[in-house]
A and B are shown apart, each in its own frame.
Chain A
Amino acid sequence: MLDVQNIRKDFPILNRTVNGKPLIYFDNAATSQTPQQVIDVIVDYYTNYNANIHRGVHSLSQEATDAYEQARVKIQKHFNAKHSHEIIYTSGTTHGINLVANGFSSLLKKGDEIIVSALEHHSNIVPWQMLCERTGASLKVIPMNENGELILSEFDALLNDNTKLVFVNHISNALGTINPIEYIIEKAHQFGAAVLVDGAQSCPHIKPDVQALDVDFYVCSAHKLCGPTGVGTLYGKEAWLNKLPPYQGGGEMIAEVSFEKTTYAALPHKFEAGTPNICGGIAFGAAIDYMNNIGFDNIAQYEHDLLEYGTEQLLKIEGVKIYGTAKEKTSVISFNVGNIHPYDIGTILDKMGIAVRTGHHCAQPIMDFYNIPGTVRASFMFYNTKAEIDSFISALKKAIMMLS
């Protein structure tokens, strides 16, 4: 079991007030809060061993290098990757996706096909459109049903020998739907297509086993799972990472340079040009430790309770419509109340210290599907409580009263 009152003590920000009211933070799908244990690691790094890594002979550089590489091993173990060099540090999910999309531009040709899902974040659609423009490949979309679930029979029909890459998020940021990536990976592999999974929304809730999934690429951001912003990871199977050309040129990613020819460094450094976010990488490792100490099974169980409770309380309010009612979903509730604009609700809730997301959640195609301008999105983490949901519900009722 998870002791939420003790856990809350780890998060200093949860003690602050907003507009004179205790903060209730329900915007976790946008970014999670940071526990003291991770903040301490960041402070310790800059206080005691800040140095550039991999090339210094001095002690500080060695300490920083060790900590950074140890964090890579933590990430490797967390995802159960076969090798630590299959873990590439990135600046976040978007960077990881662009790295793969860019790499594929030298592997694709006219007539090839890329499949993406209708549940994608904007950042996930644009790189593929750009890739298609560059290579002459075409983009196919797996449609979704009214519940916000992907229609798998349509996916089956899209697959063929021209399919080179399938891209899907593990969990939808706008609706919380957990996608059946096991099925998608297996089917795509039958046609020899590679699969890239966006784990930005799943990593705070699920511990993915990349070997068991047999996924080719998996990306995520540290700040969604209690780590700092500006750092993330791309897992790629060794064979695929060797096949892709480097993304950026610079220091770190080279073995030998002359004006005639440069040979690239081995994995993972081939994809890590320049001085990386050293402190961020180390803190990412600390965040993974923190989450694993609580335990992902405990987290999943607790958040599922919050989701059920929140959904039940919300549906008691007249006029509430929840978008995304997939059987498999995480602790995200996207909703509207009657004809009230989500922006109005978000503004009034903020006056009462409650942070939610409003708008299209960078998933315009999903909003178009439901023919709405956007939704209010409340997303919970393991440090949220039922008491907070109660406060949120009464604040919401007040907002509705003011706005009707």
Chain B
Amino acid sequence: MTIEEVQNEIIDEFSMFEDWEERYQYMIDLGKDLPLIDEKYKTEDNIIKGCQSKVWVHANMNDDKVNFTADSDAIITKGIIAILIRVFSDQHPKDIIEANTDFIDKIGLKEHLSPTRANGLVSMIKQLKMYAIAYQTQLN
């Protein structure tokens, strides 16, 4: 699936929820299911700055596609990362770099997009794209 197709799939899932409670419960459940990062990658270097909760992200590339694993000590933050990883994992770096993230608004999480928001969703997206840029440079 392309990034856009995954995003549309997520928008469809969230459209079934009637209120914030169902939305957040779903995110919390996603957070619980998030494939955990290997303990050895939970290093200071892999922490994303600008979050009130701790967020670790690790990336690797296989067959020209980037894969992400991540973890956080806060469950809602984990849910948000789980969504981002689902969108950006197993994609070509060029597509990650070019992807827009308007879908976040469409699934009712716009409030998390503010750059000053303590969970740093903006910092997370930036970090994932930075990894993609680094891998794209390797491919060139």
Contacts of B53 in A (CB 8 A): 341, 343-344, 373
Q: Is A4 an interface residue (CB 8 A)?
A: no
CB under 8 Å from chain A, chain B span 2-53? 20-21, 24-25, 28, 52-53
Contacts of A257 in B (CB 8 A): none
Output the least CB separation between A199 and chain B (Å).
27
Cβ contact of A343, chosen from B24, B25, B76, cutoff 8 A: B76
> Are A373 and B73 closer than 8 Å at their CB atoms?
yes
> Are A358 and B52 closer than 8 Å at their CB atoms?
yes
Output the least CB separation between A361 and chain B (Å).
11
Q: Is A347 an interface residue (CB 8 A)?
A: yes
CB under 8 Å from chain B, chain A span 339-398? 340-341, 343-344, 347-348, 351, 358-359, 373-374
> Are B20 and A374 closer than 8 Å at their CB atoms?
no
Residue of B nearest to A398 (CB): B21
Q: Is A402 an interface residue (CB 8 A)?
A: yes
Cβ contact of A402, chosen from B28, B52, B73, B119, cutoff 8 A: B28
Contacts of B25 in A (CB 8 A): 402
Contacts of A19 in B (CB 8 A): 20
Q: Is A255 an interface residue (CB 8 A)?
A: no
Q: Is A13 an interface residue (CB 8 A)?
A: no
Q: Is A403 an interface residue (CB 8 A)?
A: yes
Output the least CB separation between A349 and chain B (Å).
12
Residue of B nearest to A350 (CB): B111
Output the least CB separation between B138 and chain A (Å).
35
Q: Would A343 and B52 be within 8 Å (CB), given that A19-B20, A351-B20, A402-B21 are in contact?
A: yes
Residue of A nearest to B73 (CB): A341
Contacts of A403 in B (CB 8 A): 28, 75
Output the least CB separation between A396 and chain B (Å).
15
> Are B54 and A373 closer than 8 Å at their CB atoms?
yes
Q: Would A351 and B24 be within 8 Å (CB), given that A344-B76, A403-B75 are in contact?
A: yes
Contacts of B119 in A (CB 8 A): 343, 347
Contacts of B52 in A (CB 8 A): 343, 358-359, 374
Q: Is B130 an interface residue (CB 8 A)?
A: no
Interface size on B, residues (CB 8 A): 15
Q: Would A348 and B118 be within 8 Å (CB), given that A373-B73, A374-B52 are in contact?
A: no
> Are B54 and A347 closer than 8 Å at their CB atoms?
no
> Are B20 and A347 closer than 8 Å at their CB atoms?
no
Contacts of A373 in B (CB 8 A): 53-54, 73
Interface string of B44-88 (1 = CB under 8 A from A): 000000001110000000000000000001111100000000000
Could you say which of B20, B75, B118 has the most chain A C-beta atoms within 10 Å of its C-beta? B75
Cα separation A340 to B20 with both chains bound (whole Å): 20
> Are A359 and B24 closer than 8 Å at their CB atoms?
no
Cα separation A19 to B21 with both chains bound (whole Å): 12
Q: Would A343 and B20 be within 8 Å (CB), given that A373-B53, A402-B25 are in contact?
A: no
Contacts of A341 in B (CB 8 A): 53, 73-75, 77
Cα separation A177 to B31 with both chains bound (whole Å): 36
Cα separation A15 to B53 with both chains bound (whole Å): 32
Residue of B nearest to A348 (CB): B24
Cα separation A340 to B75 with both chains bound (whole Å): 8
Interface string of B92-131 (1 = CB under 8 A from A): 0000000000000000000000000011000000000000
Residue of B nearest to A358 (CB): B52
Residue of A nearest to B77 (CB): A343
Contacts of A340 in B (CB 8 A): 75
Name A's B-contacting residues (CB within 8 A).
19, 340-341, 343-344, 347-348, 351, 358-359, 373-374, 402-403
Chain A to chain B: the 3 pairs with minimum beta-carbon distance, closest first: A341-B74, A343-B74, A343-B53
Q: Would you list 22 pairs from A and B whose C-beta atoms are within 8 A, ordered by A residue?
A: A340-B75, A341-B53, A341-B73, A341-B77, A343-B118, A344-B74, A344-B75, A344-B76, A344-B77, A347-B24, A347-B76, A347-B119, A351-B20, A351-B21, A351-B24, A358-B118, A373-B54, A374-B52, A402-B21, A402-B28, A403-B28, A403-B75
